[in-house]
Amino acid sequence: MDNLINDFSIGLFIWQALVLLSIGLWIYCLIDILKNKFVQNDKLIWILVVIFIPFIGSLLYLFIGKNKKMKLD
């Protein structure tokens, strides 16, 4: 038990937390894209961007793509 406590690395913990947050963001963006309607082929384009460029694509979708969704009135 003492060995486990002494081997704890804060850097590794932060890295793992960032990876888990990145995966969560990726899944959230994919689900949001699939649930909503977009103009023409925008849905396919956003899916491809988020899948092939996971972290940056997810951030791009959050800042740009969420505003491109069709408004359902």
* Domain count within the chain: 1
Q: Which domain holds residue 13?
A: 2-68
Percent of the chain scored above 90 by pLDDT?
Answer: 58
**Per-residue pLDDT for 30 more than 80?**
yes
Structure tokens at 42: 């925008």
Alpha carbon distance 59, 65 (integer Å)? 9
Q: Residue 28's beta-bridge partner residues?
A: none
Residue 41: Cβ within 10 Å count: 9
pLDDT at residue 47, rounded to an integer: 94
Q: List, for residues 38-68, the tens digit of each pLDDT value.
A: 888 899 999 999 999 989 999 999 999 888 7
Q: What is the mean pLDDT of residues 15-30?
A: 94
In a domain, 73, yes or no: no
Q: Is 54 buried (19+), middle (13-18) or exposed (0-12) by CB count in 10 A? A: middle
Residue 69: helix, strand or coil by DSSP? strand
pTM over 0.75: yes
pLDDT at residue 10, rounded to an integer: 85
In a domain, 41, yes or no: yes
Q: Tokens 């082929």 map to which residue?
A: 41
